Structure 1
Amino acid sequence: MLVDTIFGFFALFLLTKILGKTQISQLTAFDFISAIILGELVGNALFDDNSGILQIGYVLLLWGSLLYITEIITQKFKSTRPLLEGSPEIVIRKGKLIRDVMKKNKLDINQLQHMLRGKDVFTLREVEYAILETNGTLSVLKKSDFQTPTRKDMKLAPQPANLSVTLINDGEIIYDNLKERNLTEEWLMDALKEQGYDNVKDVFYAEYMKDEELLVLPFINRGKQKK
């Protein structure tokens, strides 16, 4: 069983690499069911006295081939995507609930309100469109009166978008990130001292962003807190 388990582990790992990456939140119903069946096939093979490495490998190869073929089909033939992957459906259109779509997807008003609150929407009055995605999540477009104004709306000049980088994590300096941003350890220590931290071990997390002050979060139970 030890050998079979190790083989099953690496075989599943290899199979997921071949089939590609899909975030858990992006799993369609078909992906979810496929993952469950794949785990069941391997699990049952492990506890079957008549099954060995060859049988486990055969099952994984067969099921993985079916999944791979399905992915190829959905990529080559767009018309098969609604059947195999599903398609998004509009549940709120121009502020009005589409009852037939909700009924078709077994979605009641309480569930819809729960999903809307997850999008920081606490009343249907704010919603212009709501789309139920294939993975079961809800995408919401608010009415213009409730949308957050952008810099373009306010006629402001565009600003460059900067990506933050972690310089200290759990009291340890991440030297690769320092080097990537052309920063030195001396610069980092000076920036920490400006905020009242003399020891890196007192800092739980430090984040750098261009043209911004270094963000420093101490260990609550042992570090100095910025006043």
Structure 2
Amino acid sequence: MNTNFLHLTIELTVGFMALILVTKILGKTQITQLTPFYFISALILGELLGNAIYDKEIGLKYVLYALTLWATLIFAIELLTQKFKGTRSLLEGKPSIVIRDGYIDFQELKKNRLDINQLQILLRKKDVFSVREVAYAILESDGSVSVMKKSMYDSTTKQDINAAPKPVFLPTTVISDGEILYDNLAEAGYSEDWLRSELNNLGIVNVKQVFYAEWLEGDSLFINSYR
């Protein structure tokens, strides 16, 4: 076998085994809780290993040294965050309540660089297709959203309530970031005049006051003003 191939095979094998060992030592945190800190650490660790393997001037001992040093630093950070609670928010991030008592917290979304479309995507991944169903939504430090539904929207089976099935409709976003979404409004079968009339009935004279609004067939217009 060519010397270069043999050298690469040995380094890849040792590097692979070393990564498994590092993962075992550090636990499952880097896999299950991909916070910004752990995301960066994973990228750097992969870069260190890749450069060490493919750089001919770097030997096997440097590969192992790089992995050992990086694992030591991560382990030290783990101990630091366990011992000093004040460092957790800095290094691991902290949850943010983006929907509070049924209302979207615009300031929290802005602080976390999250727009309403991204929030809707995260909610749909939790099988929540309408903001009106949500009592509280918490943006976790790993970027996922935890949802607490309003009591009236808690999951119940038809066997529990012994009721006939009803047609299901998708909610339609008609106002986003203070702007009317005319295409969505037309798709729902309503006009701008109807929407403005509905807003006036709720005491809202300017669309710019509304951060988010959605229409759901068979239900009322859901309004979330800037707060």
The whole-number CA distance in structure 1 between the counterparts of 2:80 and 2:40 is: 18
**Aligned counterpart in structure 2 of residue 124 of structure 1, from 126, 131, 136:** 131
Instruction: Give, in whole Å, the separation in 1 of the partners of 2:25 and 2:88.
Output: 20
Counterpart in the other structure of 1:188: none
Match of 2:25 among 15, 18, 25: 18
Quick one: which of 2, 16, 27 aligns to 2:9?
A: 2
Residues 97 and 105, structure 2, Cα contact 8 Å, conserved in 1: yes
In structure 2, what is the equivalent of residue 64 of structure 1? Answer: 71
Q: Is the 8 A contact 2:135 2:150 kept in 1?
A: yes
Which residue of 2 is the match for residue 96 of structure 1? 103
Q: Which one of 138, 142, 145 corresponds to residue 135 of structure 1?
A: 142
Identity across matched positions, percent: 57
| Structure 1 position 48 matched with structure 2 position 55 | yes
Instruction: State the distance in 1 between where 2:67 and 2:53 align.
Output: 12
Which of 30, 36, 41 aligns to 2:37? It is 30
In the TM superposition, residue 24 of structure 1 has moved relative to its aligned partner by: 3.6
| CA distances 1:160-217 after superposition (whole Å, capped 9, x unpaired) | xxxxxxxxxxxxxxxxxxxxxxxxxxxxxxxxxxxxxxxxxxxxxxxxxxxxxxxxxx
CA gap of 1:110–1:94, structure 2 versus 1, over 3 A, is: same
Deviation for aligned residue 1:93? 0.3
Distance in 2 of aligned mates of 1:34 and 1:23? 9
CA RMSD, 1 decimal = 1.8
In structure 2, the residue matched to 1:74 is 81
Instruction: Tell me the CA shift for residue 33 of structure 1.
Output: 1.2
> C-alpha distance in 2, partners of 1:128/1:98?
12
**Which aligned segments of 4 or more residues in structure 1 are displaced greater than 4 angstroms?**
none
Superimposed CA distance per residue, residues 140-162 of structure 1 (whole angstroms, 9 cap, x where no aligned partner): 11111111359xx99xxxxxxxx
Q: Which amino acid aligns with 1:84?
A: L
User: Where do residues 189-204 of structure 1 align in structure 2 (5 Å cutoff)?
Assistant: none
Question: Normalising by the residue count of structure 1, what TM-score does the alignment of the two structures yield?
Answer: 0.63
Gaps of 5+ in 2: 1-7, 162-227
Q: Is the 8 A contact 2:49 2:63 kept in 1?
A: yes
Distance 1:4 1:23 in 2: 23
Q: Which has the higher helix share?
A: 2
- Is 1:105 paired with 2:112? yes
Shift, 1:131, TM fit: 0.3
CA contact (8 A) 2:19 2:67 kept: yes
Task: Indicate conservation of the 8 Å contact 2:30/2:42, yes or no.
Answer: no
Name structure 1 gaps, 5 residues minimum: 155-227
